[in-house]
């Protein structure tokens, strides 16, 4: 039986690696579909790799979050860095989930217009960015330094909403998710 | 890199293959530099090889030119705290000027900590109770001296060793040890010797802005003096109150910054007067607290809100899909399994080859 610390290292490496590849591929995909990179033959490959690695990273993310909670020193979330890690990883999870659900139900249409392309690429990159920020916060927490220290990110400050605001945001998000899901299903069955 | 798609297979032009191999090779070479931990690992209980780190790997490390020597008081009694001092000279480190110093009881790389030999670490130089501690040297500083306070639980001889890990030129992991072991012999404690209680564990941490009260248990002690000093080295006395027989309290002022102080007690009784080692006490900010449920609620709200916004906007933007000129061109050259929705795949029975 391995310790939760070791398991956390394994899962975070999986998550960060997968999301990094996904972010790179989303960037290339977006540039190609916006016509900024004249390599249309790469499009399908980057599209597949981006979404596959994003799905892989997404599958590993809950294990990383749970093992991170159990391996943190002390009891519970006793550091602002840990709270920010939780927020960032869940935000990245949300971006990745939205991105994958849209690609699954809408298929190629996510790349069909400039707006749609920009949004899909941005959501994929935002997922990648959130996870990389989470990893950077983890480095700051565990080792006191990380690659992104040059940006002097405020990991020590937590933006904690009032409970009512969080509850409203949760309900709003779930409502949007359900309504959009129905709309996407209706759209996809037209095919 | 240019990809040519033909008959379902992927060919790479020779030039691009070479470029790809070169880039991958370069990335692999870079990993050796990126794997280092110049920021250290933090104080901890570690074996000589630091859990198999680069510094302990004979195929990677280089021998440190540092000279390490251990020293201790002439007499060490069982169950009575004593000091082991490590002096490191001729230090030459990396630009981070960080050195990691070990107190060990053998050189095998496993089961080699003082705890493994029946010794308890009560205090280290950084305000913890670890056998591996890290120190950042000042510019120009090429020697340092640190102390551990330990307590032996068994009689007889024990051989101590010290080791050092640090960086250096070209990011090499340096490793060094004491030239030979330093043997100490634990003797039976004399009758009526004034001493700290055998189960007394000194505090190593305190919070900022709060005076620290020490509750000290002793044996065979009639009087106690409490001395403490801050980092400037000025020794001060604290008032000692006796709460009951062999039970004492002393209070030192609050720390306003995360610094360390050292303290010791001088014990008087029927036996010869005893002075304990200097114990190190570090001050840190009080633990941070947050309402856990509010954090979890906000985390899930962020998850569903971001996912909901992405899907809602995506559905809206994709619903009025007007194929651009570029996309028409793209469709014409796409090969391989097309990106279709599950419904499309069901209709086409396995997808479509363009």
* CB-based contact, A91 to chain B, within 8 Å: yes
Phi, psi of A68 (to 5 degrees): -65, -40
Structural element, H or E, at residue B12:
strand B9-12
Question: Does the ipTM surpass 0.85?
Answer: yes
* CB-based contact, B328 to chain A, within 8 Å: no
Q: What CA–CA distances, in Å, run from A32 to A38, A46, B2? A: 6, 10, 14
pTM, full prediction: 0.55
Report residue B199 as tokens. 């189960």
Percent of chain B with pLDDT over 70: 80
Report residue B298 as tokens. 């906000």
* CB-based contact, A137 to chain B, within 8 Å: no
My answer on whether A127 and A101 are in the same domain is yes
Query: What does R_g of chain A's alpha carbons equal in angstroms?
Result: 18
- B166 within 8 A of B46, measured Cβ to Cβ: no
My answer on whether A182 and A136 are in the same domain is no
Q: What CA–CA distances, in Å, run from A119 to A14, A116, A129, B282? A: 26, 5, 15, 51
Bigger pLDDT: A101 vs B39: A101
Give the model's confidence band at B318: pLDDT under 50 very low, under 70 low, under 90 confident, else very high: confident
How many beta carbons lie within 10 A of that of residue A12, not counting itself?
22
My answer on whether A93 and A124 are in the same domain is yes
Per-residue pLDDT reduced to its tens digit, A84-93: 999 999 999 9
Which member of B287, B305, B311 has the closest CB to residue A102? B311
My answer on whether A182 and A145 are in the same domain is no
Query: pLDDT value at position A50?
Result: 94
Report residue B236 as tokens. 């001060």
DSSP string, B18-33: HHHHHHHHHHHHHHHH
Structural element, H or E, at residue A100:
helix A80-106
My answer on whether A85 and A14 are in the same domain is yes
Q: Which of A51, A89, A170 to mutate to test the interface with B (most CBs of B within 10 A)?
A: A170
Query: pLDDT value at position B55?
Result: 74
Report residue A72 as tokens. 């943190």
Give the whole-angstrom CA distance, residue A117 versus residue A119. Answer: 5
- B196 within 8 A of B276, measured Cβ to Cβ: yes
Query: pLDDT value at position B91?
Result: 86
My answer on whether A67 and A140 are in the same domain is yes
Bigger pLDDT: A94 vs B92: A94
My answer on whether A125 and A179 are in the same domain is no
Per CATH, the homologous superfamily of domain B194-289 is Immunoglobulins (2.60.40.10)
Rounded to a whole number of angstroms, the distance between the first and last alpha carbons of chain A is: 49
- The number of residues in chain A equals 191
My answer on whether A99 and A190 are in the same domain is no
Report residue A159 as tokens. 């933006």
Structural element, H or E, at residue B283:
strand B279-284
Range B240-267 average pLDDT: 91
**How many domains is chain A partitioned into structurally?**
2
Query: pLDDT value at position B330?
Result: 52
Q: Which residues pair with B150 in a beta bridge?
A: B82, B121
Per-residue pLDDT reduced to its tens digit, B102-120: 999 988 877 889 999 999 9
Give the model's confidence band at B204: pLDDT under 50 very low, under 70 low, under 90 confident, else very high: confident
Query: pLDDT value at position B25?
Result: 81
My answer on whether A33 and A126 are in the same domain is yes
Report residue A20 as tokens. 């990094």
Per CATH, the homologous superfamily of domain B40-189 is C2 domain (2.60.40.150)
- Indicate which CATH number applies to the domain containing A113: 1.20.120
Question: Residue B137: CB partners within 8 Å, gap ≥ 6?
Answer: B91, B93, B97, B98, B99, B144
Residues from chain A contacting residue B39 (CB–CB below 8 Å) = 143-145
Give the whole-angstrom CA distance, residue B226 versus residue B231. Answer: 17
* CB-based contact, A113 to chain B, within 8 Å: yes
Q: Which residues pair with B12 in a beta bridge?
A: B3
Q: Where in chain B is the domain with CATH 2.60.40.10?
A: 194-289
Give the model's confidence band at B1: pLDDT under 50 very low, under 70 low, under 90 confident, else very high: very low
Query: pLDDT value at position B325?
Result: 44
Instruction: Name the range with the highest mean pLDDT among A35-49, A134-148, A161-175.
Output: A161-175
**Sign of the dihedral through C-alpha A133, A135, A136, A142:** positive
Phi, psi of B36 (to 5 degrees): -70, 160
Query: pLDDT value at position B320?
Result: 59
Mean pLDDT of chain B: 81
Phi, psi of B163 (to 5 degrees): -140, 160
Query: pLDDT value at position B71?
Result: 93
Mean pLDDT of chain A: 89
Query: pLDDT value at position B61?
Result: 75
Question: Residue B268: CB partners within 8 Å, gap ≥ 6?
Answer: B194, B221, B222, B223, B224
My answer on whether A26 and A91 are in the same domain is yes
Residue with tokens 């971006």: A95
Query: pLDDT value at position B347?
Result: 43
The yes-or-no verdict on residue B282 having pLDDT over 70 is: yes
- SS3 (DSSP) at A121: helix
Q: Quick check: A102 and B339 CB within 8 A?
A: no
- A169: containing domain: 161-191
Query: pLDDT value at position A187?
Result: 65
Q: Quick check: A173 and B304 CB within 8 A?
A: yes
Per-residue pLDDT reduced to its tens digit, B320-352: 554 444 444 555 454 444 444 444 444 443 333
Range B33-51 average pLDDT: 67
Percent of chain A with pLDDT over 70: 95
- B199 within 8 A of B246, measured Cβ to Cβ: no
Can you say how many angstroms the Cα of residue B48 is from the centroid of all Cα atoms in its chain? 15
DSSP string, B242-258: EEETTEEEEEEPPPSSS
Bigger pLDDT: B308 vs B4: B308
Query: pLDDT value at position B141?
Result: 87
My answer on whether A186 and A112 are in the same domain is no
With left for phi above 0 and alpha for psi between -120 and 50, is residue A49 left, alpha or beta?
alpha
- Mark B120-150 as b/e (b = at least 16 C-beta within 10 Å): ebbbbbbbbbbbbbbbebeeeeeebebbbbb
Inter-chain Cβ pairs, chain A and chain B, closer than 8 A: 206
My answer on whether A189 and A111 are in the same domain is no
The yes-or-no verdict on residue B305 having pLDDT over 90 is: yes
Instruction: Name the range with the highest mean pLDDT among A123-132, B40-49, B165-174.
Output: A123-132
Give the whole-angstrom CA distance, residue A5 versus residue A18. Answer: 20
Query: pLDDT value at position B256?
Result: 87
Q: Quick check: B302 and A91 CB within 8 A?
A: yes
Q: Which of A13, A69, A173 to mutate to test the interface with B (most CBs of B within 10 A)?
A: A173
């Amino acid at each position: 039986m391995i310790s939760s610390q070791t398991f956390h290292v394994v899962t975070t490496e999986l998550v960060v690696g997968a999301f990094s590849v996904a972010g790179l591929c989303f960037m290339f995909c977006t540039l190609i579909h916006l016509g900024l990179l004249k390599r249309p033959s790469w499009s399908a490959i980057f599209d597949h790799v981006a979404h596959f690695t994003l799905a892989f990273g997404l599958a590993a993310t809950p294990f990383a979050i749970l093992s991170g909670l159990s391996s943190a020193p002390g009891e519970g979330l006793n550091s602002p860095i840990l709270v920010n890690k939780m927020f960032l990883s869940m935000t990245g999870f949300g971006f990745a989930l939205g991105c994958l659900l849209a690609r699954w139900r809408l298929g190629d249409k996510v790349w069909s217009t400039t707006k749609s392309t920009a949004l899909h690429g941005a959501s994929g990159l935002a997922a990648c960015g959130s996870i990389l920020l989470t990893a950077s916060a983890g480095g700051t927490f565990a080792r006191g330094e990380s690659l992104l220290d040059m940006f002097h990110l405020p990991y020590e400050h937590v933006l904690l909403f009032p409970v009512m605001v969080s509850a409203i945001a949760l309900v709003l998000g779930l409502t949007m998710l359900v309504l959009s899901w129905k709309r996407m299903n209706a759209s996809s069955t037209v095919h | 890199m240019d990809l040519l798609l033909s008959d379902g297979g992927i060919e790479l032009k020779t030039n691009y293959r070479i470029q790809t191999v070169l880039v991958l090779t370069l990335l692999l070479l870079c990993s050796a530099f990126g794997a280092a931990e110049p920021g250290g690992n933090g104080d901890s209980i570690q074996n000589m090889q630091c859990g198999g780190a680069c510094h302990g790997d004979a195929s990677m490390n280089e021998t440190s030119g540092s000279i390490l020597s251990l020293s201790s008081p002439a007499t060490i009694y069982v169950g009575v705290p004593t000091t082991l001092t490590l002096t490191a000279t001729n230090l030459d480190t990396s630009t981070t000027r960080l050195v990691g110093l070990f107190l060990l009881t053998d050189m095998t790389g496993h089961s080699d900590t003082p705890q493994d030999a029946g010794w308890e670490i009560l205090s280290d130089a950084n305000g913890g109770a670890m056998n591996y501690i890290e120190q950042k040297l000042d510019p120009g500083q090429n020697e340092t001296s640190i102390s551990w306070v330990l307590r032996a639980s068994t009689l007889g001889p024990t051989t101590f060793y010290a080791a050092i890990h640090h960086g250096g030129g070209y990011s090499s992991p340096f490793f060094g040890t004491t030239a030979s072991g330093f043997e100490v012999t634990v003797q039976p404690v004399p009758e009526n010797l004034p001493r700290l209680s055998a189960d007394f564990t000194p505090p190593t941490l305190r919070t900022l802005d709060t005076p620290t009260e020490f509750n000290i248990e002793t044996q065979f002690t009639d009087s106690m003096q409490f001395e403490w000093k801050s980092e400037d080295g000025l020794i001060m006395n604290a008032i000692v109150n006796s709460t009951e027989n062999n039970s004492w309290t002393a209070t030192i002022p609050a720390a306003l910054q995360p610094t360390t102080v050292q303290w010791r007690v001088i014990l008087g009784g029927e036996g010869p007067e005893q002075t304990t080692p200097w114990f190190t006490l570090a001050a840190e900010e009080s633990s941070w607290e947050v309402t856990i449920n509010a954090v979890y609620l906000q985390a899930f709200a962020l998850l569903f809100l971001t996912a909901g916004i992405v899907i809602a906007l995506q559905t809206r933007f994709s619903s009025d899909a007007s194929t651009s000129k570029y996309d028409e061109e793209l469709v014409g050259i796409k090969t391989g399994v097309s990106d279709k929705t599950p419904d499309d795949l069901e209709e086409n029975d396995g997808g479509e080859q363009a």
